Amino acid sequence: MKHLLTILLATLTLQAVAQNTEQAQRRPRFHFDTEHPDVHDPVMAKGEDGRFYIFSTGMGISCMSSSDLKTWQPEKSVLNPIPQWATDSIRGYRGHTWAPDISYHDGKWLMYYSCSTFGKNGSAIGLATNKTLNPQSADFHWEDQGAVIVSHQHQDNYNCIDPNLIVDGKGTPWLTFGSFWDGIQIVKLKKDFKTVASKPKTISRRIGRKITLAEIDNIEHYTIDGGDTIEAGENAVEAPFIIKNGKYYYLFVSFDFCCRGERSTYRTVVGRSKKVNGPYMDRKGIAMEKGGGETLIGPNESFFGVGHNSAYQVDGQWYFLSHAYEKAYNGQAKVFLRKMYFDHDGWPLLE
């Protein structure tokens, strides 16, 4: 009897192992496409080792690197462990970190990042620093510096996500950020690159008027897959990025909707100003805080949408980096990297 029971248990165990193995084989595995990697909200920097590093939305901030801007390899995440202050203070945040920003100032790399949950503005922008981007260096270590600015549900009519740092001609740092609610904001920072030194100012809206907190609180909320309630309003603008070229500052933002695969409608628009805090005007002379924006790229024959961009000069050549929902990949978000030029009137255009 004992022998029969042993055989029965062994048989059941083998069946369970076989079933689990079959389920594991059926379960899709993540495959990193070295030439067309998946990405959301990418930013880029050239490290001390000569490699290019892309940082993007992901668990603890995703990272990949390349020696030639063509073939990429995955790297370790930035935030490990996930900052305790963020999980304690941002309801629903569990480490999936959005829309980082990377730049080098005063001998260290500054990475601003977003802690939030979809459709809510109970959000925070944090800061992590590193002496080097080279993971092989003995000095390589990301050190979290805590929160820079926080927005609160039903208290603030802006959303503290999608940060971007710009330092003006006088050496003053400015942080721009925002998504939906009352649009894109900009604040002055102190020279420590962390302490906010001014109130938020709106520099871009999709709707050409101020969006009040009462108006947002009174809109008809709706739900998405999973039952999350969206409270963001209808001001579909986000993902600011500011560069300086010649006498102008250029503000890039994304209109319409990301993150919907084949139903994504992202498009990138731009305006310019001689002052870092605006007003930013489009080619027609319409202020971006009043709904203006010159379309640079959007849905076309190859992409359902293109947005959340950044822009950089590499060896004198401007590059435009974003994610694009590619039709050839059934709406998956892929790295979109193109050379960028400026026309005779000083407006950017893509290769």
Known catalytic residues are 41, 238
What is the rounded CA–CA span in Å between residue 175 and residue 185?
8
What is the rounded CA–CA span in Å between residue 35 and residue 324?
14
DSSP assignments along 186-242, one per residue: EEEB-TTSSSB-S--EEEE-SSSSPPPHHHHHTS--EE-TTSPEE---S--EEEEEE
Tokens of 213: 């907190």
Q: How far is CA 68 from the centre of its chain?
A: 23
What is the rounded CA–CA span in Å between residue 156 and residue 116?
14
Give every CB contact of residue 169 below 8 A, 6+ residues apart in sequence: 244
Residue recorded with tokens 């193995």: 21
Pairing state between β 164-167 and 143-151: unpaired
What is the rounded CA–CA span in Å between residue 43 and residue 2?
64
The DSSP secondary-structure symbol of 281 reads B
CA atoms within 13 A on the CB side of 269: 27
Dihedral sign of CA atoms 290, 306, 336, 343 in order? negative
